[in-house]
């Protein structure tokens, strides 16, 4: 079969990514856009986009940088929440970052600190001292 010099059908969309389009990839990957959403946003074909990822190291690096930046900011926010005393976040970070294992009893101890117990004799002596001072 002979190939025509004038093929019919819809022409392919742009075949190269301009520098400005490569620069737009960082915020898109940071915002967790899927590859399909990025392709739609840029208006390029699937083939073009994936060929550029393979052939242009800058494209792949920008996509990876956006994802790495997102992960870094999430970790920073997790640590801020944990350092403000959020017990669940501390437990989560302990498990994921430090490999700690918690059982229900130890979690309850963390959430409800042990109260000081005073026997009846000491309590009566304290009460007696309070009333005598007045």
Q: What is the mean pLDDT of the chain?
A: 79
Residue ranges per structural domain of the chain = 19-113
52: buried, middle or exposed (CB in 10 Å: 19+, 13-18, 0-12)? buried
Q: From residue 66, how far is each of 56, 76, 104, 122, 130 by CA, in Å? A: 16, 15, 38, 62, 64
pLDDT for the residue numbered 120: 79
pLDDT band with cut points at 50, 70 and 90 for residue 61: very high
Query: What is the four-CA torsion angle of 35, 41, 46, 47, rounded to 10 degrees?
Result: -110
- For residue 9, the 8-state DSSP code is S
What pLDDT digit, counting tens, does each position of 85-117 carry? 888 888 887 787 777 776 666 666 666 655 667
Helices (H), the chain: 19-30, 35-42, 46-55, 57-83, 87-98, 104-111, 120-133
pLDDT for the residue numbered 6: 64
């Amino acid at each position: 079969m002979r190939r025509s010099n004038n093929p019919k059908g819809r022409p392919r969309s742009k075949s190269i990514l301009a520098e400005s389009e490569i620069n737009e990839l960082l915020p898109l990957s940071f915002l967790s856009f899927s590859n399909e959403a990025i392709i739609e946003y840029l208006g390029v074909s699937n083939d073009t986009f994936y060929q550029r990822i393979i052939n242009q190291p800058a494209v792949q690096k920008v996509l990876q940088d956006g994802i790495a930046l997102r992960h870094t900011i999430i970790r920073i926010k997790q640590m801020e929440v944990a350092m403000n005393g959020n017990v669940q976040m501390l437990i989560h970070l302990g498990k994921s970052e430090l490999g700690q294992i918690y059982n229900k009893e130890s979690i309850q101890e963390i959430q409800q600190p042990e109260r000081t117990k005073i026997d009846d004799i000491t309590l009566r002596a304290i009460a007696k001292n309070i009333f005598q001072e007045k």
